[in-house]
Structure 1
Amino acid sequence: MSRTYLYEHTTTTAADAFEEASVAVLPTGSVEQHGPALPLGTDLLSARAVAETVANHPETVLLPPVPVGVSAHHRQFDGTLWTDPEVFESYVADIVASAASHGVEKAVLVNGHGGNADALRRAARNLRDDEIAFAAPWNWWSNLDALIEEELDTSLGHADAVETSMMLAIADEFVREEALQTAEDEGGDSWGKSVHGAEIGFDTLDFSESGAVGEPTNGSREVGEKLLAHASDDLAALVEWLAGEDLADLWPRGHK
């Protein structure tokens, strides 16, 4: 049976999907500023694109994406939406728990926004501690450092060459390429701001006028396609590993 997003199923076909699957895949992203050139949904679109590459994997059921995340640090830029970290954590946990109630008690949280990471980790830990579900938080870029260094001679920033490349590969219609230079010229060289070792860059605006960090003009569709392919391979391998694990072996050791 062809796999698709859960919301496209009927309740009857959903029953079949949950019966066949052992791993729920939940994309999480954000709707936040990515400078003047990239869309507000960059993180959401990236997480969704990578998650969709395993939609037809025989072990997966693809859950609806969570669009809005932990993004208050971008709040001064127009269009940014955000939610409280604890609300986000609870919401994600409820979605995973819902899937577990239908028999799929393992999940991969395919994340596209770094600001979500702590909340996702807490949600996953609590789900595991309560033996409701085992959820693996996974950032789509988490295993791509070597590829990013090789192709772009950089590390991940924000609205930078990495994210520009990904958007050119998966959603180029939303990229304002003529604004990439402005994003770079008015952006930050690195993420954050510190004074004598104290981290005082609480908001993106504290260290980037454009909202970008890095060199978005170096991005390309070709690099984006490589990033997507490698991330897809990593996600498929993670799904296969998780599908093969006995759930009892994933619960906390010595937990009572």
Structure 2
Amino acid sequence: MTASSHPRSGFRLADLTWVDAANLLGDGLPVVIPIGAASRAHGPHLPLGTDRLVAEVVAERLLATLPVLVAPCIAQGFQPAFMDYPGSQHLEAATFQALVTEVIEGYLRHGSERILLLNNGIATEAPLKLVAQDILHRHGVRIATADLPRLGLLGLGSSTASADDLDERDTSLLLAIQPALVRLDRLQEMAADAEDDEDDLPPEDSDEPRLLSLRRPLRFTPEERAGGVLNRSGTTGDATTATAEKGEALLAAMVDEIVADLRLLWTDL
């Protein structure tokens, strides 16, 4: 089994023996590490594992297109904003950074110096930047990162990532890849409650979250509490505008962008 005999497709590392993994790592196949929370609230209509499901589907599509090795998903992350919603899990930033660093260093130890982090999270972006910088400082290896929420945005008719469209994005993606897990009946409930939800937002003269130039950390909460931004449903945006067609367009655009960049970065792909 060699990279040259499979020029257009890759492998899941978990499906290989260590001998096969050694050969393919020795051939220089890049390692793709999906990162997506397996347990984080996305409103009352989406599964807690939405981030993981999307990251793994994007990884599978990359694997079908390029000779890469897809690693098991890192399914825990730095997700402090949604911890008030039951079932959500979160690692402190230092713990998350240590976890990702040790996973990367394992692949470095086995000879891989071409690694892509496939990050499906907003809060995880900053810790992963620190991880990549630390790996460069200590090992001299430049890690590539694809932040999925910022890719494929033309599929939603947008050119910038915004909290206002995240729920449309995530719901569209789930409708495309796992429609049975989307509670469509609750989309109608959310639409009916939209007018009431306006009362849950800070007033217009509040500096949270309508700041234009400054940034402060957010913690959403389904019940009023100190330091929390009241958000009864745990959604961020209008999920009622989501469609499976938008989700498929997003997936295709995300994969196309990543493939194009990887071929620029590693020209032998």
Partners in 1 of 2:158 and 2:80 — Cα distance?
32
Q: 1:40 offset after TM fit, Å? A: 0.5
Which of 41, 48, 52 is 1:44 aligned to?
A: 52
- Tell me the TM-score normalized by structure 1: 0.84
In the TM superposition, residue 150 of structure 1 has moved relative to its aligned partner by: 5.5
Say which of 110, 117, 136 aligns to 2:118: 110
Kindly state the Cα deviation for residue 22 of structure 1 after the two structures are TM-superposed: 3.4
Matches within 5 A, 1:3-18: 3-18=10-25
| Distance (whole Å) between structure 2 residues aligned to residue 234 and residue 194 of structure 1 | 31
Unaligned segments of structure 1, at least 5 residues: 246-256
Corresponding residue for residue 240 of structure 1: 263
- Structure 2 residue ranges without an equivalent (≥5): 1-5, 222-228
Q: Tell me how far 1:190 sits from its aligned partner.
A: 8.6
What is the match of residue 251 of structure 2?
A: 228
CA contact (8 A) 2:52 2:120 kept: yes
Separation (CA, whole Å) in 1 of partners of 2:108 and 2:97: 16
Aligned to 1:91: 99
Q: Within 2, Cα distance between the matches of 1:180 and 1:236? A: 34
Q: What is the SS of the residue equivalent to 1:138?
A: strand
How large is the RMSD of aligned CA atoms in angstroms?
Answer: 2.9
Counterpart residue number, 2:180: 173
Give the letter aligned to residue 7 of structure 1.
A
Question: 1:3: Cα distance to partner?
Answer: 3.0
- Deviation per CA, 1:210-248: give whole Å up to 9, x if none: 000111010000010000001011111222223239xxx
1:253 aligns with none
Contact persistence 2:168–2:237 (CA under 8 A): yes
Q: 1:231 to 1:182 in 2, by over 3 A?
A: same
CA deviation after TM superposition for structure 1 residue 56, in Å: 3.7
- With over 3 angstroms needed to count, the CA separation of the structure-2 counterparts of 1:72 and 1:46, relative to structure 1, is same
Please tell me the residue identity of whatever aligns with 1:3: G
- C-alpha deviation, 1:154, in angstroms: 9.0
Report the TM-score, using the length of structure 2 for normalisation: 0.80
What's the CA shift for 1:82?
Answer: 0.8
Greater CA drift, 34-43 or 125-134 = 125-134
Task: Note the C-alpha offset of 1:111.
Answer: 0.8
What percent of counterpart residues are identical? 25
* Shift, 1:119, TM fit: 0.7
